[in-house]
Amino acid sequence: MSAQELDDDRPRRRNLTCAATGLLGGAGLGAVAAVFVPGGPALIGACALAGGVVSRAIASRISADDWDPDPLASRRSYVGTRSPDDDDAPAR
C-alpha cells in the first residue's frame, strides 16, 4: 500500500457521516411517530437503530471519489485554457 492510501481517510469520514445522519434522522422520525403511537423511547431507539443500519448500507455503495473527490487527482484545466488566444490574432 502506498502512503497516500494509508493517509486517505475519505471512506472513514463517509461512514461516520452516513451513520450519524442515519441515527439522527431515524431518531427524528421515531420522535414524530412516538407522538402518534404509544411506546415513545422504545420507538425512538428502534427507528434510530434502523436509520443507522440503512445509512451504513447506503454508505457502502458510495465510492470515496464520489463522496469527496481527491483534489490532487482531478486537476483539470478550466474550459478554454488550452485553446489559442483569439485576442492576439490580427484583425481582418
User: pLDDT tens digits, residue range 15-36?
Assistant: 888 899 999 999 999 999 888 8
Q: Tell me the pLDDT tens digit for each residue of 41-79.
A: 898 999 999 999 999 888 888 887 777 766 666 565 556
Is residue 28 assigned to a domain? Answer: yes
The parent domain of residue 24 ranges over 13-60
Is residue 44 assigned to a domain? Answer: yes
- pTM assigned to the model: 0.63
Residue 55 confidence (pLDDT): 92
Is residue 91 assigned to a domain? Answer: no
Domain count, the chain: 1
Is residue 56 assigned to a domain? Answer: yes
CA 33, 26, 16 angle in degrees (round to 5)? 170
Return phi, psi of residue 39, to 5°: 105, 40
Is residue 20 assigned to a domain? Answer: yes
